[in-house]
Amino acid sequence: MPTIQRLPDLLISQIAAGEVVERPASVLKELLENAVDAGASTIQVQLEEGGVKLIRVTDDGCGIDKEQLVLALTRHATSKISSLEDLERVSTMGFRGEALASIAAVSRLTLTSRAIGASHAWRLNGDSASTLEPAALIAGTVIEMRDLYYNTPARRKFLKSESTEFAHCAEMMKRVALANPQIAFTLTHNGRMPLQLPRADARRRAAAILGDDFLTDSRSIDVTAGNLSLIGHAALPAHARSRSDAQYCYVNGRFVRDKVLAHALREAYSDMLHGSRFPAYCLFLTLDPAGVDVNVHPAKTEVRFRDSRAIHQFVYHAVNKALSAPLSGVTTTEPAGPIATYQPAFTPPRQESLLAAEPAIAAYTGFVAAARPAGLSPSLGTAPPRFSSNLPDSTPGEAPPLGYAVAQIHGIYVVAQNAAGMVLVDMHAAHERILYEKLKTALDGHAIATQALLIPAVFQAPALDIAAVEEHQETLSALGFDIAVVGPGQLAVRAVPALLQSGDPASLARSLISELREHGATQLMTARRNELLATMACHGAVRAHRQLSVPEMNALLRQMEATERADQCNHGRPTWVQLGMDELDRLFLRGR
């Protein structure tokens, strides 16, 4: 019969190291968090061979007293908690007291520290934890780890290449640096310095790590409700990536990967981001430490909320509201410089609405198309750009966010001038978003206004389409359509949603009937409702090569500013881009 025996302390620590020390980046995480907890204002990291040969972390924090250095390498020894109540309200990054002991069990560890007020520093080697010797150090602590897994070669075989391990270490340092902009960080690898971050505010630190374009293409978030607070930046869908490598989410300053938060953020983007793209964000959630359990994962990367539903709803609504805000209510900022605010301080002269109804009709190829928006030229050809010489005079504080239209390029793009420079608008994508949001609002109110056609649009249809129309008359009516069977193999569109009257009725009807046949009315009006409305909006939006007058272009700009999520179309593509005067000057080498 097997004998039960107590394991040696070294083996216990090596087993624990298997949970805490997965790779060099795991070691670096624990050492960086200890430096942050020590109140450091400067942290320097030196790596060799991806951190496998050497990880040295130097900080200028409070240091460790001589009498406590030996205890620092003992398992379950910590200065951060002393009772269950402390554990339930952890506010520090580290708290278990296992990190240094686990690291020392699988590497050659040296700990040098000088406590505040001490006459000199003391050094302790992990393989002779009872021996202390004097050392020279101005202040703070230096922890040096060499030869990771030298005594457990089987574990070392699982490590990846030097470049891969270094990439994980660099990413770990960025995570800690994003949450601590008040600390200066320096990273060197094999004698080179790939990362140097001076002390800064949160915005400049985010720009330094994630790039100026991240801040330019994102919305600021600063929302508080009771003891919950969410601040940071959520990038617009146009900045989405093919990987989730630009998603930084923190809870009380701790980087986490939490299913509740991930789902809330995915839902916040669900109506703006399509396909397999991943949104980018850097968000900091703060709440009462008693409301979150951080002691659920050895690496402390997962948490458990006591009221996960409330957290989910708070994060979802905060991010969704920021992303959905109309342009007229958004503050425009430069990446890492002064904030430039464009507030529509006045109402420009009333323009013709791009969506206004007009009873005019036009014939095509044997059946009648729906009415076109007021003022739209029926011309479909490509014409030279038209310019306006009577732009309103305005100061930067008065200009609307998207400015005023000056031209149309190839019947596709609208060129406008605002206080910051030049704006380019994809008119089809912008109109598509406007229609989509209006359709959602109308359907939420259970009343999509219809526009009867003077002459019905008749088209040939297969028997299954005719059967679907007869079966789903109630659904078609709710969506603003009046479609009837008028003969063998023929359907007639008698009315369409008023918002889509400029589209081709037959094309709209075919698309809707196809969706009904494939998914059924129930699913189409619930799970796939927004996808259907997006398809309808795409069919009804102003088409490319449609020539617009200057008043029509300005009407489009004003409606974009008043529409939620107008920064991108229903497919996640940008609807407009800004070219600042500095960018234009660089293109033409002005000032050089």
Check residue 131 and give its pLDDT. Answer: 80
What lies within 8 Å, CB to CB, of 390 at 6+ separation is none
How much of the chain is helix, strand and coil, in % rounded to 5?
35, 25, 40
Check residue 382 and give its pLDDT. Answer: 32
Average pLDDT over residues 462-488: 93
CATH 3.30.230.10 domain residues, the chain? 203-324
Of 389 and 147, the structure prediction assigns the larger pLDDT to 147
CATH 3.30.565.10 domain residues, the chain? 9-197
- Distance (Å, whole) CA 458 – CA 513: 14
What lies within 8 Å, CB to CB, of 383 at 6+ separation is 411, 547
Min mean pLDDT across 367-376, 471-480, 564-573 is at 367-376
Mean pLDDT value across the chain: 83
- Distance (Å, whole) CA 306 – CA 319: 21
Average pLDDT over residues 323-333: 68
Average pLDDT over residues 426-432: 93
Statement: residue 393 has pLDDT above 50 = no
CATH 3.30.1370.100 domain residues, the chain? 363-579
H or E element in which residue 163 lies: helix 162-179
Of 77 and 123, the structure prediction assigns the larger pLDDT to 123
Check residue 135 and give its pLDDT. Answer: 94
Residue 3 has phi, psi (to 5 degrees) of: -100, 130
Percent of the chain with pLDDT over 90: 54
- Distance (Å, whole) CA 237 – CA 89: 36
Residue from 542, 560, 541 nearest 379 by CA: 542
Check residue 129 and give its pLDDT. Answer: 57
pLDDT tens digits, one per residue of 150-177: 988 888 888 999 999 999 999 999 999 9
CATH number of the 363-579 domain = 3.30.1370.100
401: helix, strand or coil: coil
> Is the domain 203-324 a CATH 3.30.2090.10 member?
no
The first and second tokens of residue 21, run together, are 């020390």
Using a 10 angstrom Cβ sphere, with 0-12 exposed, 13-18 middle and 19 or more buried, the burial of residue 67 is exposed
Check residue 73 and give its pLDDT. Answer: 85
Average pLDDT over residues 307-336: 79
Q: Which of 9-23, 233-247, 252-266 has the highest mean pLDDT?
A: 252-266
Question: Scanning the structure block, which residue is given the tokens 């060099």?
Answer: 24
Statement: residue 67 has pLDDT above 80 = yes
Check residue 490 and give its pLDDT. Answer: 94
pLDDT tens digits, one per residue of 497-521: 999 988 889 999 999 999 999 888 8
Q: Look at the domain 9-197 and name its fold.
A: Heat Shock Protein 90 (3.30.565)
- Distance (Å, whole) CA 500 – CA 16: 64
CA angle 348, 349, 351 (to 5 degrees): 110
Query: Cα 272 to chain center, whole Å?
Result: 11
Statement: residue 366 has pLDDT above 60 = no
Statement: residue 206 has pLDDT above 90 = yes
pLDDT tens digits, one per residue of 526-579: 888 888 898 888 888 887 788 889 999 999 999 999 999 898 888 778 899 999
What lies within 8 Å, CB to CB, of 482 at 6+ separation is 450, 452, 476, 493, 494, 495
